């Protein structure tokens, strides 16, 4: 099983003291799993990604904050949310952002067969195609980062599998927005792929953290680009 998802489980077991070392996956993981994308090579860009949407009002908030800094991002959407809120997906695309696949029902690859997992991905793709019939979906992120080697082999033929350089942990209710900002600022660098969530659960931390992250890296001269 892919080791990338040890972040959450070890955090729960080991507690906050070890957590800071797990926000950024160790370098050796990139060599162990070369068929997934952990970071990009662009020397002047940071890659913001938002998982689990679209979510009414929250995704709109994210879009406004991104626009304030002329920032572009990639949204890994859950297919069932796409079908429920196609107008939000249309707005994401209209603002120049990239829509990507995050399965139909946010399932864990470790808990289902490869056949079921591939169908989940295809169902999400079809949901996105209903909104944008002429737009190819190029990127996939496994929910929770949980994907098996056999699933990687199958999926990588159709999509670029994207994990992350920095996990903001905005979903963690034991943290506050300053913790989230610190996670990102401490570990992000050129080419980093950063994970946020445009969800109800994450919003109490996201609403304060995202503007601070955008301001910090804008002042440093970085661009925010899509994958």
pLDDT in tens, the chain (227 residues): 333 343 333 333 333 333 444 798 888 887 778 889 999 987 799 999 999 999 999 999 999 999 999 999 999 999 999 999 999 999 999 999 999 999 999 999 989 999 999 999 999 999 999 999 988 999 999 999 999 999 999 999 999 999 999 999 999 999 999 999 999 999 999 999 999 999 999 999 999 999 999 999 999 999 999 99
Catalytic residue among 51, 170, 172, 198, which? 51
Give SS3 for 80. helix
Residues near 24 by beta carbon (within 8 Å), at least 6 away in sequence:
165, 166, 167, 187
Question: How many C-beta neighbours within 10 Å does residue 84 have?
Answer: 14
| Alpha-carbon span 63 to 70, nearest angstrom | 10
Query: Which member of 85, 97, 102, 197 is catalytic?
Result: 197
Parse the chain into domains and list their residue ranges.
3-224
Q: What SS3 class is residue 61?
A: helix
Q: Which CATH superfamily is domain 3-224 in?
A: Glycoside hydrolase/deacetylase (3.20.20.370)
Q: Is 197 a catalytic residue?
A: yes
Beta carbons within 10 angstroms of residue 60's beta carbon: 15
**By the 8 A CB rule, do 99 and 92 touch?**
yes
Question: Residue with structure tokens 């601070």?
Answer: 212
97 is catalytic: no
Residues 32, 1: Cα–Cα separation, whole Å: 12
Give CA–CA dist 43/25, Å, rounded. Answer: 20
pLDDT, position 81: 98
């Amino acid at each position: 099983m892919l080791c990338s998802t040890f972040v959450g489980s070890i955090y729960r077991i080991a507690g906050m003291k070890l957590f800071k070392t797990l926000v950024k996956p160790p370098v050796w993981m990139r060599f162990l799993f070369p068929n997934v994308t952990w970071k990009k090579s662009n020397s002047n860009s940071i890659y913001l990604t938002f998982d689990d949407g679209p979510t009414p009002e929250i995704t709109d908030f994210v879009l406004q904050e991104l626009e304030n800094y002329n920032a572009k991002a990639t949204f890994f959407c859950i297919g069932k949310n796409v079908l429920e809120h196609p107008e939000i997906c249309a707005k994401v695309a209209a603002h120049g952002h990239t829509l990507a696949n995050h399965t139909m029902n946010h399932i864990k690859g470790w808990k289902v067969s490869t056949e079921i997992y591939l169908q989940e991905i295809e169902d999400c793709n079809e949901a996105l195609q209903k909104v944008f019939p002429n737009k190819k979906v190029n990127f996939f992120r496994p929910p929770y980062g949980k994907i098996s080697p056999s699933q990687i082999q199958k999926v990588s033929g159709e999509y670029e599998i994207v994990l992350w350089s920095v996990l903001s942990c905005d979903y963690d209710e034991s943290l506050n927005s300053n913790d989230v900002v610190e996670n990102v600022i401490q570990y992000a660098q050129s080419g980093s792929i950063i994970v946020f969530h445009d969800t109800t659960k994450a919003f109490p931390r996201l609403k304060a953290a995202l503007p601070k992250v955008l301001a910090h890296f804008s002042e440093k001269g970085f661009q925010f680009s899509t994958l």
